[in-house]
Amino acid sequence: MLYPLATSILLLCDGGGSNSARTHLFKESLQNLSNELGIELRIAHYPPYTSKYNPIEHRLFPHVSRVCEGVIFDSVETVRELMATATTKTGLEVFTTILGQVYQTGQKATEVFKQNMPIVFDDILPQWNYTAQPQQT
């Protein structure tokens, strides 16, 4: 573990898709991860239509897009290998991994979680900023 004394992790998330600020399943998954790690997870969502300010999109995607230009993707492995070649003069290196598991669709948050959601919403912009604190099980 790189930061054994850390007491919390800040996650900056886009506002749409499966990790939307509105989805209970995302919050339930974060709560389960917080419980498993035993550490507080602070979530800050970018407001709608502002993902362009996400530092990953600014610093990574242009270089990954550049190495993929004009290439026919014949396999996931080809894409992984291409993305891993993205570098910059200032030292950007890209590490790639292919997840072997199948993404399950149609999952829903449990009613128990929805009724007793332990997520703590911030006083400022609570719809986009909240915390999952580890719970004793």
Going from the first residue of the chain to its last (137 residues), give the mean pLDDT of each consecutive group of 10, the final group possibly shorter: 87 80 90 94 87 75 91 94 92 89 87 91 93 88
In this prediction, residue 136 carries a pLDDT of 78
Is the whole model's pTM more than 0.85, yes or no? Answer: no
pLDDT digits (tens, 9 = 90+) for 32-66: 999 999 999 999 998 877 777 777 777 888 899 99
**What b/e readout covers 81-94, taking b as 16+ CB neighbours within 10 angstroms?**
ebbeebeeeeeeeb
Q: Which residue has the tokens 């609570």?
A: 126
- Beta-carbon contacts of 131 under 8 Å, excluding residues fewer than 6 positions away, are 8, 40, 41, 42, 43, 119, 120, 122
